[in-house]
Amino acid sequence: MLLVTGSVVAGARLLAAADDTVTVWAVAGERGAGTPVAAGDLVVRRVRFADDATLSRYFAADRPVPDDLVLVRGVGDGELLARSAVGAAEEQAVLRVPLEVAPHRVPPDVSAGSVVDVWLTDGAGPPAAPASAGTDEGAEGGRDRPAGPALSGVTVVAAPPYDDAFAVSGSRQLVVAVADDDAVAFEQLLGQLQDPVIRILQRS
């Protein structure tokens, strides 16, 4: 009888502990800065927080996330959606940059929400330097700078289906979200190349 009573008490404690957990929204899949926060990209996670102040930093899953929010930084797969990670879409200094890419230079499963690196070459020449890097004075097209992605870790915000894009133009158009300063540098870099070739490497 004492054993049964002890089991009941232990069970009651477990239930009480379980009642301390709350549900919050988490992100399904890696997402980069500039990605709109969509309900289909969110999953529910049950978490126990140390106090209400910590809980208030996240979005409770008992109500929808507000509309017109975008990520202001990259988040990992399964990461809880922090209020500090989002901002109002109209307040973000992000430009949408269209890219026209040959089909064999972009993974076919790249879609809206994918995080990618954008590499540039000038025809058969060496890779173009990163758009965010400064150009050495007197360097032609910045070609003496270390090679690297022209845009790193940017988010695809629009991407037509692979087959549809190829049938119409023979290439695929992607639209990526890029910070204002990086977008300006990227456009300047494109203007320095006689025969720009774009290659997309997918992170997620």
What is the Cα–Cα distance from 139 to 141, expressed in whole angstroms? 6
Between CA 188 and CA 195, with CA 192 as vertex, the angle to 5 degrees is 120
Task: Please indicate, yes or no, whether residues 34 and 62 belong to a single structural domain of this protein.
Answer: yes
What is the Cα–Cα distance from 6 to 3, expressed in whole angstroms? 5
Which range marks the domain in which residue 65 is found? 19-91
Taking only the tens place, the pLDDT of each residue in 147-181 is 689 998 888 888 877 665 555 557 888 988 888 88
Task: Please indicate, yes or no, whether residues 111 and 144 belong to a single structural domain of this protein.
Answer: yes
Beta bridge partners of 9: none
* Predicted structure pTM score: 0.59
Band of pLDDT at residue 4, cut at 50, 70 and 90: very low
Task: Please indicate, yes or no, whether residues 99 and 72 belong to a single structural domain of this protein.
Answer: no
**pLDDT (0 to 100) of residue 151:** 92
Tokens 């629009």, located at residue: 158
**Where a domain ends, among 50, 76, 91?**
91
Contact 94, 34 (CB under 8 A): yes
Contact 180, 93 (CB under 8 A): yes
Q: Is 58 helix (H, G, I), strand (E, B) or coil?
A: strand
Average pLDDT over residues 184-191: 90
Task: Please indicate, yes or no, whether residues 38 and 127 belong to a single structural domain of this protein.
Answer: no
| Beta strands, E only, 7-72 | 22-27, 42-47, 69-71
Contact 183, 190 (CB under 8 A): no
Tokens representing 145?
């700078």
Number of domains in the chain: 2
Number of neighbours of residue 49 by Cβ within 10 angstroms: 15
CATH code at position 28:
3.90.1210
More confident residue, 26 or 133: 26
Task: Please indicate, yes or no, whether residues 111 and 23 belong to a single structural domain of this protein.
Answer: no
Task: Please indicate, yes or no, whether residues 198 and 98 belong to a single structural domain of this protein.
Answer: yes
Taking only the tens place, the pLDDT of each residue in 50-83 is 888 888 999 999 999 988 888 888 788 899 999 9
Q: Is residue 6 part of a domain?
A: no
